[in-house]
Amino acid sequence: MRVKKYVVATMPEAMSQIRQELGKDAVIISTKEIKAGGFLGMFNKKMIEVTAAVDDAPVQAAPAASVQAAGASSARQQPPVVPVSHARSAYAGRTEAATVVKSPASPTEQGNAAIPDRLVRESQPSKLALEENEDFLIAPTSRKAAVEEDAAAASSVRHTSDEDWKVELKEVKAMVKSMMMLNEQDAWPASAKTLAQRLKDQGVRSDLVYQLMTPVLELFRKEGNDTPTIQQLKPPLAEQMRKRLQQHRKLGLTIETKIVYFAGPTGVGKTTTIAKLAADQMFHHQRNVGFITSDTYRIAAVEQLRTYASILNAPLEVVTSPNDLQRAVSALQTHDLILMDTAGRNYRNPLHVNELSSLLKPLPGSEMFLVLSLTSKTEDMASIIKQFPEGSIDRIVFTKLDETDSFGSILNLTEITDIPFSYVTCGQNVPDDIQGFDPSEMVKQLLGDQAS
């Protein structure tokens, strides 16, 4: 028996080479996925390693009567023999049961030759192999189906290889860009390094610091000043940051907004924020406000909002299902504004996002506010935002401004999302400790004493 391995991109390519070199009686012993080529471990492509074999022993002719008997017995006992053109590719890296590459014999061919017993035995997989590789062993019902399956598999392999190549190329570009940024920052004047370090200490990402500082330094270089002082750098740098934050600012609730849903992870202060915003709308905008809550998970959560509702002399509806929500909205339809509290959940879990989405249906005049704590890391905030379907969140409210000295996450989010920032809360006092998002004030917080 001759055994040979082929490393190819697609199964059709492998079958073509097997036919040409080993003939139509070849046996596909195994297939598995490998990585080949590349440079220094990068840019390698996914390939398929196919092991095939053929029996060089001459086939003995059998008497016609015994051939007919063997044919009848084979029809009862042997599994279908799979031709090369019908063999399915196995890309999961498993060793497949051997498959005979011989086309089913016609009655005339059966009269001339018999299939070698050893190949027949090899073509019969064990019960375990049948269970594990059933999808591979079942022969397609037609040549057209087989060709379509091979073409689809080949396309999938090419697509996967292209995606891997793109990911690796992106990683290389990011590495080169990072090295270039580090080299350039080493050449920055001491004043620029001081301001840059302040922003990094605030949690601003290094690449964003580079984006902000580079045009400022370029401005001074054009004026012939390669070593500007901190006092000279502060105003244009602060303006760069202010403009970036200003593009993400959206203040106030318009008269068209009738319902505001509040969502957010546990412990960010949603209920207190709702009470603050309700008081602001009632006292400063003379709007008639009603409350809805679906936070039946947390002990005393309903009572907390009921207390605020009682103080503000506003009605409260409790809901537990989408049908309940329709009922509650109808009960409060005469009010100018409805504010709805939801249970604090781990919204990095898509199941909790789906649960919320099934409850909160987008109604005319409704908005979704995502409440995030400034004590959270940028990565955590970004992870929560990405779990929500695009366009489902209308604004972001930041809480606990008074509980942190690091505000870089706000600046980082301008690179991650286009969702506007509306409010910032800075304490437990209702209704005082809430204010509209102010880019200039946030720049002062970020630069600290350096902004004075």
> Could you tell me if residue 450 is inside a domain?
no
Q: What's the predicted TM-score (pTM) here? A: 0.60
Strand pairing class (337-341; 289-293):
parallel
Query: Domain boundary at 186, 208, 240, which?
Result: 240
> Could you tell me if residue 31 is inside a domain?
yes
Are residue 94 and residue 51 in the same domain, yes or no? yes
Are residue 182 and residue 134 in the same domain, yes or no? no
Q: What is the pLDDT of residue 410?
A: 95
Are residue 365 and residue 269 in the same domain, yes or no? yes
> Could you tell me if residue 159 is inside a domain?
no
Are residue 87 and residue 122 in the same domain, yes or no? yes
> Could you tell me if residue 156 is inside a domain?
no
Query: Domain boundary at 240, 271, 306, which?
Result: 240
> Could you tell me if residue 119 is inside a domain?
yes
What is the Cα–Cα distance from 10 to 227, expressed in whole angstroms?
Answer: 59
Are residue 134 and residue 171 in the same domain, yes or no? no
> Could you tell me if residue 25 is inside a domain?
yes
> What is the number of structural domains in the chain?
3
Are residue 313 and residue 268 in the same domain, yes or no? yes
- Whichever domain contains 428, its CATH number is 3.40.50.300
Q: What is the pLDDT of residue 160?
A: 56
Q: What is the pLDDT of residue 157?
A: 56
Are residue 117 and residue 33 in the same domain, yes or no? yes
Are residue 352 and residue 424 in the same domain, yes or no? yes
pLDDT along the chain (452 residues), means of 10: 85 85 82 72 74 70 45 45 42 40 44 43 40 39 55 58 66 62 78 93 94 93 90 94 93 88 89 92 92 77 85 91 87 93 78 77 86 93 90 93 93 94 89 90 86 46
Are residue 278 and residue 395 in the same domain, yes or no? yes
Q: What is the pLDDT of residue 390?
A: 87
Q: What is the pLDDT of residue 99?
A: 42
Are residue 397 and residue 275 in the same domain, yes or no? yes
> Could you tell me if residue 154 is inside a domain?
no
> Could you tell me if residue 270 is inside a domain?
yes
Q: Are 9 and 157 in contact (CB under 8 A)?
A: yes
Q: What is the pLDDT of residue 128?
A: 37
Are residue 9 and residue 107 in the same domain, yes or no? yes
Query: Domain boundary at 109, 142, 175, which?
Result: 142
Range of the domain at 330: 259-436
Instruction: Return the closest-CA partner of residue 96 out of 137, 53, 157.
Output: 137
Are residue 306 and residue 198 in the same domain, yes or no? no
